[in-house]
Amino acid sequence: MPEVSDYSFVVILILAVMGITAVILLLTYLIGPKRTGAIKHSVYESGVDPTGDARRRFNVRFYLVAVLFLIFDVEIIFLYPWAVLFPRLKATEGADQQWASDLAANGFTPAFFIVGIGIFFALLTIGFIYEWRKGVFRWD
Amino acid sequence: MPSAAFAISITSLVPELILAAVGCVVLLMTQAKSGSVRRAVPGITLSGIVLAILILRFGHLLGISVGADSINGGLVFDGLAGFVRVSALILGVLIVLVSWVQPADEERGEFFSMMLFSLAGLMLVGPSADLIVLFLALELVSIPTYIMVALSRPGPRPLESATKYFYLGAMAAAITAFGFSYLYGVTGGAALDAGAVDRIVDALRDPDSPAHNLATIGLLLSVVGLLFKIAAVPLHFYIADVYQGAASPVAGLLGFVPKLAGIVAIFKIISLTGWATTEGALFWILWIVAVLSMTIGNVLALRQTNIKRMLAYSGIAHSGYMLVGILAGPIVAGERAESIMGDGTAAVLYYVVIYGIANLGAFALLGLLRVRGRPCETLRDVAGLLRYYPSIALLMALSMFTLMGMPPTPGFWGKLSIFGSALAAAEFAPALYHDWIIALVIIAVLNSALAAAYYLRVIAAVLLFESDEPAEPTPREAPMIGALLCGFLLLVFAFYPKPLMRLGRDASDRLLVPPPTVQVESTSAIVAEATLLDESPPF
Amino acid sequence: MLVAYLLVGAALFALGLIGFVTRRNLIIMFLCTELMFQGIVVNLVAFGRYPLDGNPTLDGQVFSLFLLAVAAAEAALGLALVVLLYRYKGTLDASVWKLLKDV
C-alpha cells in the first residue's frame, strides 16, 4: 500500500524518539548521582531566585488583551477565502477564466471585491480606533 | 443575470447601511473631549433613524429603489420585509426618545450605537431569505441587546441580568444554529426559496426517506431556539430577572425588538413546511408551548408586586397568544381576502407591534418616575398618580388597558383577530385537530380574563389609590414626548386600525407562496464548481 | 460517511448542552456553548461535503466561517461580563448571584 509507506517515516520517527528518550531517562536514573536538599527541591526559574507562587492572579489587563486578540484573530478567517480566490479573478485561460468572467457578468468584478474587502477593513479600523481612544493599549 | 441586479440589492439596503454608519459615528463620538459633542449623541441617533425612514419612504424619488422586489444575495424585499423595516424604524424613534437620558454621559455613545446595530439587525431579519443571513441578522439583534442591558444603569444588578440573558441567549443561538445545520442538510443549500420548501415538504411527507428525521429534528430545534427570542415557555427563565435588572427603557426595547425578530424568524422557518401547522408534530409542539406560555406567564405575573417583573411575566403570556396566531397560519387567508380575521400571521404581526408600543409606553413612564430618587418599580410606588400627574396616570392606564385587551383599545383588535383566525383555521383543519384548536382558543380567552386581574391592579393603584408619597417625574422632555407618542399611536390604532392591519396582510401574503428558486447560479455555487473542478476525492 | 460526521457533531452538541445545564462555573458554562457551536460546524461542513442529493455546495463552509465569527463575538462579550462579575464577588460560581429573584 503506497499511502502507508508515504507516512512510514513518521512512524519510524515517533518510535525512534520514544526509544531514545526512554534510553536517556533510564541511563540518567542508573548512572547519575542522587543527592537531595533545600536547593535541589526549589523551583527552577532559569537560575534566578524564585519569586512567589506560580498560581497567582493575573492583572485584569491580560484578559482585556486576550479579548481583543480573540476578536481580531477570528476576523482574519474572512481574509483567507478572499486572498485565495482573488488572484484567480485575473486568470486568462482555462476554467478559472470562465469562472471569473461568469462572476463579472453577475456584477462581481475585481473592483467589487477590492471595495468589499476595503469596507471590511474600514470596519475593523473603526473598532481599532475605538479601542485605542478608550485607552485599552495604555499599560499603566 | 445582468450586473444591474447587484446594484439593486445594495441600494435596497441603504436604510440599514445608514443605521450601521450612524452607529459607528456615535460609537466614536463617545470619546470626544468636549461634553457638548457627547450630549449630541441621542440627537444624532434620532436623526439617523429619521433619515432612514425618509429614504425608505421617499428614496424612489432620488432613484434609490429601496425595497425593490429583488432576489439577491439571500435577501427578498417583499411585504414582510417592508412591514418589519417600517415598524422597526418607527418603534426605533420611540425607543430613542424614551431612553434619551438613560445611561451615564460617558457610556451613552456605546449605548446608542448598540441600539442602532440592534435595529439594523431587526431590519435585516425581515428580508432575509437565506439561513446564513437569517442567523447573522438574529445574532445582530441579540448581541447588542446583551450589552445594552449591562450598560443601561450602574451597579451589579444590570450585570447579573445581562449575564443571565447572555448565557441563555448563547445557548438558544446554538440550538437554533443546530436546527439550521440540519435544515441545510435537507435542502442542500442555504437559500429559503421554493426549492427548499419542496424538499422539506417532501422529506416531512415521506417517513421512509433518509431526510425525514433530519427535517423533523431541524425544524423542531430551530423553532425551540427561537422561542428564546420571544420568551416563550421552555426558554423563558431569564425574562423577569432581565427586565428587573435592566433600566426601564431597555426593558421596553426588549419587549419589541427581539420579539419581532423571533416571530418573523419563526414565520420563515415554519413557512418551509408549507404551513402544515394544523396537523402533525408541529401542531402539538405549538399547541403545548402556546398553552404553557399563556398559563405559566399569567400565573407568575399574578404573584408580582414589582411592576417590571409583572410586565415581564405577562410578556410570556403575550408570546403564548402570538403562538396561537402562528398555529392558525395564513392558510385561510384566501377565503376572506379583505379581512384580517382569517389570517393568523397578519394578526400576529399587528399584535407584536401593538404589544411593543404599549409595553414601551408603560416602561417609559416607569423610567420617568422617581420615588425618593430611586427608579419607580412597585405597585406602591405608582399609587395615587392621578391626583398629582393626571397625564402620566392616564397614559399608564391606556397602556395597561391595551395590554389587557379592553374593547376599544388596539390590544382588543389584536386579540380578536388572532383568536378569530384560529377559529377560522379550525374549520379547515382535519377533524381530529378541530376540537383541539377550539380548546386552545378557549384557554386563550380564559387566560386573557385571568390577565385582566393583574393589569387592573396597576390601573386601580394609579387611578384610585391614595399615597402620602407619590412618585415624581424627572423633568426631562424627551422621554415624556416618547411616552406621549406611544399613547398617541395607541389611540390612532384604536380607532383607525385598518392601515396597520393592511400592512400586516401584505406582509403575510408571501408566507404561503415562497420566493421562486433563483435561476441564476448563486455565487457560492459558482465558487463551489470552480473549487471542486480540480479536486480529487480525498477519502 | 455522512452519518459518522453527524454523530460526532451531535455528540459534541449534546456534551455541550449537558455541560451547560449541569455546571455552575461561568467559564465552564461558556466553554460548553463553544462546544455546541463546534458540533454545529462539524454538521455544516459534513453536509457541504457529503450532501444528501450528491451536489456538494460551499454554503456549509461559508456558514461555519460566519458561525466562528459569531462565536468569537460572543466569547469576547462573555469574557468581559465574567471579568466584571468576578470583580464584584471574587468567584466564578453562577449560584452566588441572587440579587434578582421573585419575592
Domain boundaries, chain B: 275-509
Residue B73, pLDDT score: 64
Rounded CA-CA distance B141/B59 in Å is 25
Distance from the Cα of A119 to chain C's closest Cα (Å) equals 17
pLDDT above 70 as % of chain B: 88
Identify the contact set of chain A against chain B, taking CB-CB distances under 8 A: 85, 88, 95-96, 99, 102-109, 112, 123, 126, 129-130, 133-134
Residue B286 above 80 pLDDT?
Answer: yes
Q: Are B248 and B308 in contact (CB under 8 A)?
A: yes
pLDDT in tens, B236-248: 888 999 999 999 9
Q: What is the structure's pLDDT at B528?
A: 47
CB contact under 8 A, C100 and B160: yes
Of the partner residues C68, C80, C83, the one whose CB lies closest to the CB of residue A74: C68
User: What are B457's three cell numbers?
Assistant: 391592579
Instruction: Count other Cβ atoms within 10 Å, centred on residue A7.
Output: 9
The three three-digit cell numbers of residue B3, written as one number: 450586473
pLDDT for the residue B513: 65
CB pair distance less than 8 Å for C72 and A66: no
Q: What are the tens digits of pLDDT across the range B126-175?
A: 989 889 999 999 999 999 999 999 998 888 889 999 999 999 999 999 99
Please indicate whether, in this complex, the C-beta atoms of B1 and A106 are within 8 angstroms of each other: yes
Give the best residue of B526, B535, B539 to mutate against chain A (max A CB count within 10 A).
B526
pLDDT of B10 reads 72
Distance to chain C for A80, nearest Cα, Å = 10
Mean pLDDT of B2-9: 50
**How many residues in chain C?**
103
Question: Strand order in B369-371's β-sheet?
Answer: B374-375, B369-371, B472-473
Q: What is the CATH number of the domain that holds A42?
A: 1.20.58.1610
Say whether B78 sits in a helix, a strand or coil: coil
State the smallest CA–CA distance between residue B515 and chain A in angstroms.
20
Place of cell 442602532: B116
**Residue B66 or residue B390, greater confidence:** B390
Q: How confident is the model at residue B465 (pLDDT cuts 50, 70, 90)?
A: confident
Enter the DSSP assignment of B72. Answer: E
Domains and CATH numbers, chain C: 2-93 (1.10.287.3510)
What is the reported pLDDT for B8?
54
Does any CB of chain C come closer than 8 Å to the CB of residue B532? yes
* Number of domains making up chain A: 1
Residue-range definition of the domain harbouring residue A47: 2-134
Residues of A in contact with C87 (CB under 8 A): 60
Average pLDDT, chain B: 85
Q: How confident is the model at residue B525 (pLDDT cuts 50, 70, 90)?
A: very low
Q: Is the pLDDT of residue B468 over 70?
A: yes
- Please report, as a single letter, which amino acid is at residue C21: V
C-alpha cell at A119: 469596507
A140 within some domain: no
A residues 36..75 contacting C (CB < 8 A) = 60, 63-64, 66-68, 70-71, 73-75
pLDDT-based confidence at residue B67 (cuts at 50, 70, 90): low
Grade residue B179 by pLDDT with cuts at 50, 70 and 90: very high
Taking the C-alpha atoms of residue B190 and residue B93, their distance in angstroms, rounded to an integer, is: 34
The per-residue pLDDT for B70 is 54
d(CA A119, CA C69): 17
Q: Do C58 and B304 touch (CB under 8 A)?
A: no
Assess if residue A139 is contained within a domain: no
pLDDT grade for B120, boundaries at 50, 70 and 90: very high
- Cβ of A95 and B534 within 8 Å? yes
Q: Which of B3, B27, B30 sits opposite A106 (nearest CB)?
A: B3
Would you say the pTM of this structure is higher than 0.90? no
Contacts of B408 (CB under 8 A, 6+ apart): B494, B495
- pLDDT at residue B523 above 50? no
pLDDT for position A112 = 82
Query: What is the model's pLDDT at position A91?
Result: 77
- Check residue B536 and give its pLDDT: 40
pLDDT confidence tier of residue B539, bands split at 50, 70 and 90: very low
Report which residue type is found at B38: R
Chain-chain contact of C69 with A81 (C-beta, under 8 angstroms): no
How far off is chain A from B521, nearest CA to CA, in Å?
10
> Residue C67 — very low, low, confident or very high, per pLDDT cuts 50/70/90?
very high
Round to whole Å and give the CA distance between C64 and C76: 18
**B26: distance to nearest CA of chain C, Å?**
20
Q: Which of C65, C72, C83 sits opposite A70 (nearest CB)?
A: C72
